[in-house]
């Protein structure tokens, strides 16, 4: 396996279009996150506070680099993540779980990136500026569910560097654990165009399945983005 910086970041191996993302954020005590995240990774904080974020969204045109967009695969995904730094100080994310409506996407991401993907029955319906989204995990966690309705608010531009919004949204490196190794992979995209979001209805058990306190309703902080086009790079062992 290649070490980080030995070629994994040279050219993308895949492309995806991420669309209609809801970011729902909640503060979590650092000491609790410390028990749930591999010891090789530092908990990243903003003003001393740890965070976890739930993100339901749609993936369109998922395909290997060089393949035409028309041959891409589309599916729904929900991920639950927190914020970390590597031993070298690189900021990134660590996933507690990822749900996907595609069995192929689940199998591929587990094998290639050691990510904790689970197959789920998922549906999303849009009524104007209102989204209705539902996910029920099929395997590996009976009762791991999400049902959420959100309404898109006014455009807010991109998150300014140094702000909490930027800390929570603009992350371009993921870390995963495989055995004793920490794997690292990078994505590349333009900054998220953000909008306000209100969440009139939310019911979930994904936080509890990850060992986290249940997500508050209404959530402390939420963002919406219409989406970005993403280049995905190969994984390597983090140094």
**Number of domains forming the structure of the chain:** 1
Q: Which residues contact 207 (CB under 8 A, 6 or more apart)?
A: 26, 52, 54, 80, 213, 214, 215
pLDDT at 220 over 80: yes
Within-domain flag for 147: yes
Within-domain flag for 9: no
Within-domain flag for 48: yes
Which pLDDT score, from 0 to 100, does residue 4 have? 46
pLDDT at 3 over 50: no
Q: How many beta carbons lie within 10 A of that of residue 143, not counting itself?
A: 10
Closest-CA residue to 169 (of 152, 189, 153): 189
Average pLDDT, the chain: 94
Which pLDDT score, from 0 to 100, does residue 140 have? 67
Residue 79 near residue 95 (C-beta atoms within 8 A): yes
pLDDT at 219 over 60: yes
Average pLDDT over residues 214-236: 95
Which pLDDT score, from 0 to 100, does residue 7 have? 65
Within-domain flag for 3: no
Within-domain flag for 36: yes
pLDDT at 5 over 50: no
Within-domain flag for 148: yes
pLDDT at 239 over 90: no
Within-domain flag for 111: yes
Q: pLDDT > 90: what percent of the chain?
A: 89
- pLDDT tens-place string over residues 146-165: 999 999 999 999 999 999 99
- pLDDT tens-place string over residues 79-113: 999 999 999 999 999 999 999 999 999 999 999 99
């Amino acid at each position: 396996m290649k070490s980080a910086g030995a070629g994994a970041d040279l050219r993308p191996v895949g492309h995806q279009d991420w669309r209609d993302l809801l970011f729902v954020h909640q503060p979590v005590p650092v000491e609790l996150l410390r028990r749930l995240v591999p010891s090789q990774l530092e908990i990243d904080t903003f003003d001393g506070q740890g965070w976890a974020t739930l993100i339901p969204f749609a993936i369109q045109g998922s395909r290997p680099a060089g393949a035409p967009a028309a041959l891409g695969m589309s599916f729904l995904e929900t991920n639950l993540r927190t914020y970390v730094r590597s031993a070298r100080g690189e900021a990134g994310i660590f996933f507690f779980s990822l749900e996907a409506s595609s069995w192929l996407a689940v199998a591929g991401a587990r094998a290639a990136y050691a990510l904790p993907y689970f197959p789920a029955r998922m549906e999303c319906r849009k009524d104007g500026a209102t989204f209705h989204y539902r996910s029920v995990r099929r395997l590996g966690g009976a009762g791991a569910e999400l049902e959420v309705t959100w309404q898109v608010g006014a455009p807010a531009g991109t998150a300014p560097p140094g702000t909490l919004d930027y800390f929570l949204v603009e992350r371009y490196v993921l870390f995963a654990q495989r055995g004793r190794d920490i794997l690292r992979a990078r994505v590349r995209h333009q900054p998220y165009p953000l909008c306000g979001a209100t969440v009139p209805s939310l019911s979930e058990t994904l936080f509890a399945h990850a060992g986290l306190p249940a997500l508050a309703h209404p959530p402390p902080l939420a963002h919406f983005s219409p989406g970005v086009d993403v280049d995905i790079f190969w994984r390597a062992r983090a140094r």
